[in-house]
Structure 1
């Protein structure tokens, strides 16, 4: 059957212990140091990435706020421009109405003056015609048929004089 010697077991245990100590001193510590260094590097990189990510997010927020502010300012500027344009429009319309009223008044006065001149000229012409008619009637006052003939001649003369 199978025979086990105690000395082989003890030597095997001692060999395993020596091998373990040798690996621990020369391999595990160095590998552990490399792994720990690598882990610190990875953690540092992750922290830097998180920091950069938060900075980028903050910049994005700042840019979005700047864009909103620019949009608000553009709206305010546009509103103010519309208000100024409305005020200018009202001012121009008032001035135009005043100018139109002045022009209408001047035109009305000119028409009134022309009407007065026409009336005065008509009065003068009527007076001249009346004087001419009176002189003709006084000079030759005959009968009604003759007066009608003189009146027709007179109207022909006045019509030719114009």
Structure 2
């Protein structure tokens, strides 16, 4: 049977004392240290999650800003094209008006030159007609009346055509 010996009782008491001492001086500090470490790791994980969420928010804000900037760039480009088109149309209209004015001035100038040339030609024809008439009648026809007569003759001949 089991014999109770004082050695066994002392051994059990020693084991209980050792257990209590280990529990108080070893297990409790180690558990506290492990709890602190687990809490620190959890805090770091929470902080990392919060930073990740902040980074995702900043990324989405950045992407939205970039999208708006692209839309603004497209709008500015379209506005610039529209203004350039309007300016082109205005310049073309001004150029057309200027060319029409130049053409009208040129036509007026040509008409004036034609009238001057016709007057000059009439004057020379009148002189030639007087010279021919003078040779025919052997008389000098330099008088003003003769010239007026020749000019009226040429004018009448010009109107009949």
TM-score normalised per structure 2: 0.76
Q: By how many angstroms is 1:72 displaced?
A: 1.5
Task: Tell me if 1:120 matches 2:124.
Answer: no
Note the alpha carbon deviations across 1:104-153, whole angstroms, 9 max, x for none. Answer: 1100110011011111111111111111211211228xxxxxxxxxxxxx
Note the alpha carbon deviations across 1:72-110, whole angstroms, 9 max, x for none. Answer: 211111111111111101100110010000001100110
Task: Tell me if 1:69 matches 2:68.
Answer: yes
Aligned position for 1:55:
54
Task: Tell me if 1:108 matches 2:107.
Answer: yes
Aligned position for 2:146:
none
Aligned position for 1:23:
22
Aligned residues: CA RMSD: 2.1
User: How far apart, in 2, do the equivalents of 1:100 and 1:5 lie?
Assistant: 136
Task: Tell me if 1:40 matches 2:47.
Answer: no
User: How far apart, in 2, do the equivalents of 1:132 and 1:126 lie?
Assistant: 10
The farther-off stretch of 96-105 and 70-79 is 70-79
TM-score normalised per structure 1: 0.76
User: How far apart, in 2, do the equivalents of 1:4 and 1:100 lie?
Assistant: 134
Of structures 1 and 2, the one scoring higher in RCO (CA 8 A, sep 6+) is 2
User: How far apart, in 2, do the equivalents of 1:80 and 1:101 lie?
Assistant: 31
Q: By how many angstroms is 1:17 displaced?
A: 3.1
Q: SS of the counterpart of 1:34?
A: helix
Gap runs ≥5 in structure 1: 141-162
